[in-house]
Amino acid sequence: MTCQQILSLSLVLWKLHGSYINKWSVLMDAYFHQNPLFSSQSIYRVLSESYSWERDRIMAEGGAAAAAASENKEERRIVVAVDESEESMYALTWCLKNLVSSNFNDTLFLVYANNPPPVYTAVDGSGYLFSSDIIATMERYGGEVAESVMEKAKKICRDLGGGDDDQIKVETRVERGDARDVICKMVERLNADILVMGSHGYGLIKRAFLGSVSNHCAQNVKSPVMIVKKPK
């Protein structure tokens, strides 16, 4: 039997069962002692091919198993209402620590309501409206605020997700309108399993004038609502 035949047979046996190559190591060593020029490179090539084949097989099987496990996980769609307040960011942090779980296939939807700017128009006698520059500036500022809020929220998701963007699936939604209407419509549109939002802790008088977004959503959203209160 030639050395090449021995190497080929050893490679086949390794692919069938790794332990068989040990039975051939004595025979291979004896041949290499008789042929010193045909040694290290051949051994390296055989073991490299064997290792590469075994590695690819294990990775393929492991990847298939991981994909199957992921497909079997229950999907959950979690909506978190965010704004400029510390209360909303605390609610997001609480959600990531206590609600999001690796046992589920969770998708986090960060929802921000961009309130339309109030319009204070100055009109002359002919009815000419000349507040367009002010309106454009306010709209631009509103867009910058929304972007800043979303970046802060996504950073919290990355930090609590171990820095891996793939670990927590996060999507963002920014829509213009009153926060109460936007959040309720978005929960229904996304078919969310739960809504998480912070409590701003308004007093009785302030709540009477401004209304409570969390109370409105709790009464009008069909999905479960989790209102998180930030400790004082």
Domains defined along the chain, listed by start: 3-70 (no CATH), 74-229 (3.40.50.620)
Render pLDDT for 96-117 as a digit per residue (tens, 0 to 9).
Answer: 999 998 888 999 999 999 887 6
* Low-confidence stretches of the chain (pLDDT beneath 70): 1-71, 117-135, 137-138, 141, 162-167, 201-211
What confidence tens digit (pLDDT) does each residue in 150-167 have? 999 999 999 987 555 456
Q: Which residue has the tokens 């692919």?
A: 15
